[in-house]
């Protein structure tokens, strides 16, 4: 009989939640009590809202426990491992009985994330045991031509998962058709969207899948060298990538004449980026790899013709490469059976914001936004109403509740004014001010502008100044028209995708939430009661007991009144800090 396995999720989200302390506790228990179980580690399974996560695999099956701190770890070991009595109230996923969080996985189809949380990401043997590197071995054994590899990817319908959604097979064919003695393939892991963590989780949880995808891509286009461009803020991802690259070299998946394929010489190295959002644009990324400042270049020529070091170069993102081995092994038809007519396969989304189940999900194209948020995401916390979702990161747009039945595919999402992007999905509730959220994302893109072109550098700054005025109660009647005029100019005249899409959050909020802009400008009120400068705190006479707590705690002494008598807020002195509102035990302060 095999030993019971106890596996701890040690991705960045788990470690931040205390998983490493849990791992150390389990290690100490195993040693001190001489317990006979096998202790291992994996990465994130996407259930970030339940971290730290511990999986126990015994003779009866698999049990994943959630929120496992050191105290809970002790209880689980004593009951489950020692007494063979699973602690059902802590189990968040198992096939043996129903759990409160089983629905999180019900509609998921895991292809890109197929190994995340299932293997030890630092073990090539674990990866190989799950058909890892079987696809490149299949190519070598069956002598599959590069034309057939490219055709398989074309037939699968895989589109780039980095945001643009261009056909992956077409990109590979363009790069292949450009003759050169040297070609490059680059993995874009410069994940910069606020609220996005898909690439990081994939690199931490299944680095070999990305390497294998790059190796297959290199074979298809004839590349000689590969670069993984990863932001330095992802130290765990970089550590595991370096381990994976060394292991792949030792097993001859990288190097000279790979797996006996004549003249197939290919190696990979990592380039750490400084975390500039603009380097998500491929020509800016290339400039950064070359040691220059990350600034976009005019196209044409496109990278497939003249990219890194002016050689033909193919660039795909992490998720795109992670899909490749699965497609080659299982066939194009197995992949294209998922999705819609023009958007095949699955898509990974990072759920963040005002949502119960924050984490990583992989769903088939064609699922509705509503199902992602309310079935997988568990809906909105604290009984609040769903208001909108920001899809596509800072370059995306806000999709309102009444469009929540929009299906997830490139064309349908684009029709709303948003974009698919790399997969960031930031959920908002009724307390979110849409003018303020537009300001937040525009502030991000304005700060990340490389400054090369005037429309992006200056235009976004002017738009941000207008939004600041509006949220401070200083908006003017002409501001909405100015925002729309500036947005069109920036979209039409910016050099790269960052500038061309930067106005999207403003344009979509103006399209769907214009009434909120008008309330800020004309009524000097924030309907969501989120913009500090537009708030007014007042005492409700019928509820005030004169307890004095608000007056005592007011930092500027703006509240006066005798004990056991109704108090008064002096509006000219109030700094709108909200401390009185938060502290009042009798709901005697209104927020207008």
- The whole-number average pLDDT for the span 396-407 is 96
pLDDT at residue 45, as a whole number: 93
Report, as an integer, the average pLDDT of 241-251: 98
Q: How does residue 103 score in pLDDT terms, banded at 50, 70 and 90? A: confident
Contacts (Cβ under 8 Å, ≥6 apart) of 397: 390, 391, 416, 417, 418, 419, 504, 505, 507, 508, 509
In a domain, 244, yes or no: yes
Mean of the pLDDT values across residues 350-360?
Answer: 95
Q: Where are the alpha helices (DSSP H) in 52-116?
A: 70-76, 103-106
Segment 513-531, tens digit of pLDDT: 999 999 999 999 999 999 9
b or e along 263-299 (b: 16 or more beta carbons within 10 Å of the residue's beta carbon)? ebebbbebbbbeebbbbbbbbbbbbbbeeeebbbbee
Residue 371 host element (H or E): helix 369-371
pLDDT reading at 41 higher than 90? yes
Q: What is the percentage of the chain residues whose pLDDT exceeds 70?
A: 100
Ranking 38-47, 81-90, 160-169, 346-355 by mean pLDDT, the lowest is 160-169
- Provide the pLDDT for residue 353: 95
- Local structure of 355: helix, strand or coil: coil
Q: Cβ distance 541 to 431 under 8 Å? A: no
The answer to the question of residue 107 being in a domain is no
In this prediction, residue 476 has a pLDDT band, given cuts at 50, 70 and 90, of very high
Q: Are residues 194 and 273 in the same domain?
A: yes
pLDDT tens for 197-222 read 899 999 999 999 999 999 999 999 99
Same domain, 301 and 411: no
Question: Last residue of some domain: 101, 133, 151?
Answer: 101
CATH code, domain with 518:
1.20.1440.230
In a domain, 558, yes or no: yes
* Kind plus residue range of the DSSP H or E element containing 539: strand 537-539
Give the pLDDT of residue 135.
Answer: 98
Q: What is the pLDDT of residue 12?
A: 95
Q: Which residues pair with 40 in a beta bridge?
A: 7
Is there a contact between 65 and 92 (Cβ–Cβ < 8 Å)? Answer: yes
| Cα gap 223→211, rounded to integer Å | 14
Residues 331, 351: one domain? no
Q: Report the Cα–Cα distance between both ends of the chain, in Å, rounded.
A: 67
Pair (559, 518) in one structural domain:
no
Q: Is a pLDDT exceeding 60 seen at residue 276?
A: yes
Q: Which residues are 7's β-sheet partners? A: 40, 55
- Answer yes or no: are the C-beta atoms of 261 and 220 closer than 8 Å: no
If asked whether residues 94 and 190 sit together in one domain, one would say no
Is position 119 within any domain?
no
The pLDDT value recorded for residue 423 is 87
Claim to verify: residue 365 and residue 245 sit in the same structural domain: no
State pLDDT tens for residues 146-189.
999 999 999 999 999 987 889 999 999 999 999 999 999 999 99
Tens of pLDDT along 42-64? Answer: 999 999 999 999 999 999 999 99
Quick one: pLDDT at residue 1? 53
Domains: count for the chain: 5
pLDDT score recorded for residue 187: 97
Residue 135 and residue 240 share a domain: yes
The mean pLDDT of 108-137, rounded to a whole number, is 97
The CATH number that applies at residue 211 is 3.40.50.11540
Q: Is the pLDDT reported for residue 281 higher than 80?
A: yes
From 523, 557, 575, give the residue that closes a domain. 523
- Which pLDDT score, from 0 to 100, does residue 94 have? 94
Q: What is the pLDDT of residue 205?
A: 97
In this structure, are 314 and 363 located in the same domain? no
Banded pLDDT at 36 (limits 50, 70, 90):
confident
- Alpha helix locations (H) across 389-523? 410-415, 434-448, 454-471, 479-493, 497-501, 504-512, 514-518
Whether residue 300 sits in one domain with residue 163: yes
Classify residue 7 by burial, with Cβ atoms within 10 Å: 0-12, 13-18, 19+. buried
Do 505 and 445 lie in one domain? The reply is yes
Whether the ω angle into residue 313 lies within 30 degrees of 0, i.e. cis, is no
Q: How confident is the model over 289-331, as pLDDT tens digits?
A: 999 999 999 889 999 999 999 999 999 999 999 999 999 999 9
**559 membership: H or E segment, kind and range:** strand 559-560
* Contact assessment for residue 103 and residue 359, using Cβ atoms and an 8 Å cutoff: no
User: Which one has a higher pLDDT value, 592 or 260?
Assistant: 260
Residue 575's domain spans which residues? 535-591
Q: Supply the pLDDT for residue 17.
A: 96
Say how far apart CA 153 and CA 83 lie, in whole Å.
50
Angle among Cα 340, 342, 346 to the nearest 5 degrees reads 55
Are 174 and 86 in a shared domain? no
Q: What share of the chain is helix, strand, coil (3-state, %, to 5)?
A: 45, 15, 40
Does residue 560 lie within any of the structural domains?
A: yes
- Scored b (16 or more CB within 10 A) or e, 127-136 reads bbeebbbebb
- Give percent above pLDDT 90 in the chain: 87
Q: What is the DSSP letter of 291?
A: T
Q: How far is CA 415 from CA 12, 196, 370, 484, in A?
A: 35, 22, 17, 18
- Mean pLDDT over the full length of the chain: 94
Kindly report the pTM of this predicted structure. Answer: 0.93
């Amino acid at each position: 009989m095999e030993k019971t396995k106890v596996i701890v999720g040690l991705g960045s989200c788990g470690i931040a939640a205390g998983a490493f302390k849990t791992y150390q506790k389990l290690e100490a228990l195993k040693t001190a009590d001489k317990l006979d179980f096998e202790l291992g580690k994996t990465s994130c399974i996407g259930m970030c809202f339940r971290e730290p996560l511990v999986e126990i695999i015994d003779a009866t099956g698999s049990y994943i426990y959630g929120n496992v701190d050191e105290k809970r770890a002790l209880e689980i070991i004593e009951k489950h491992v020692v007494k063979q009595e699973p602690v059902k109230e802590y189990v968040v996923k198992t096939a043996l009985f129903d759990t409160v969080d089983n629905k999180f996985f019900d509609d998921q189809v895991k292809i890109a994330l197929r190994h995340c949380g299932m293997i030890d990401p630092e073990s090539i043997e674990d990866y190989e045991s799950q058909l890892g590197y079987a696809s490149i071995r299949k190519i070598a054994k069956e002598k599959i031509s590069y034309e057939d590899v490219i055709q398989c990817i074309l037939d699968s319908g895989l589109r780039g998962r980095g945001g643009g959604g261009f056909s992956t097979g077409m990109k590979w064919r363009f790069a292949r058709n450009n003759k050169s003695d040297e070609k490059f393939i680059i993995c874009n892991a410069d994940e910069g969207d606020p609220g996005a963590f898909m690439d990081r989780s994939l690199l931490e949880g299944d680095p070999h899948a990305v390497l294998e995808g790059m190796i297959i891509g290199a074979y298809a286009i004839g590349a000689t060298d590969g670069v993984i461009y990863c932001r330095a803020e992802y130290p765990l991802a970089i550590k595991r990538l370096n381990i994976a690259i060394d292991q792949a070299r030792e097993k001859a998946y990288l190097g000279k004449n790979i797996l006996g394929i004549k003249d197939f010489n290919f190696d990979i190295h990592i380039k750490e980026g400084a975390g500039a959002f603009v380097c998500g644009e491929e020509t800016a990324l290339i400039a950064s790899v070359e040691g220059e400042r990350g600034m976009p270049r005019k196209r044409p020529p496109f990278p497939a013709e003249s990219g890194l070091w002016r050689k033909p170069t193919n660039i795909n993102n992490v998720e795109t490469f992670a899909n490749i081995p699965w497609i080659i092994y299982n066939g194009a038809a197995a992949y294209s059976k998922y999705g819609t007519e023009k958007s095949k396969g699955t898509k990974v989304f990072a759920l963040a914001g005002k949502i119960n189940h924050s984490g990583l999900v992989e769903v088939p194209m064609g699922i509705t936004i509503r199902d992602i948020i309310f079935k997988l995401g568990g809906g909105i916390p604290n009984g609040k109403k769903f208001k909108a979702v920001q899809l596509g990161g800072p370059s995306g747009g806000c999709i309102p509740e009444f469009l929540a039945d929009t299906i997830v595919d490139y064309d349908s999402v684009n029709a709303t004014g948003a974009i698919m992007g790399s997969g960031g999905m930031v959920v908002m509730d009724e307390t979110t001010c849409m003018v303020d959220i537009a300001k937040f994302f525009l502030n991000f893109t304005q700060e990340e502008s490389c400054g090369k072109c005037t429309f992006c550098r200056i235009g976004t700054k002017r738009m941000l100044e207008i939004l600041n005025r509006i949220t401070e109660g200083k908006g003017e009647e002409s501001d909405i028209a100015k925002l729309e005029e500036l947005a069109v100019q920036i979209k039409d005249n910016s050099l790269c995708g960052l500038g061309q899409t930067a106005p999207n959050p403003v344009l979509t909020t103006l399209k769907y939430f214009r009434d909120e802009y008008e309330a800020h400008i004309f009524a000097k009120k924030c309907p969501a009661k989120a913009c500090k400068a537009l708030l007014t705190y007042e005492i409700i006479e019928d509820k005030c007991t004169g307890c004095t707590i608000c007056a005592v705690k007011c930092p500027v002494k703006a509240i006066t009144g005798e004990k056991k008598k109704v108090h008064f807020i002096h509006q000219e002195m109030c700094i709108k800090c909200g401390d009185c509102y938060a502290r009042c035990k009798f709901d005697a302060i209104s927020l207008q």
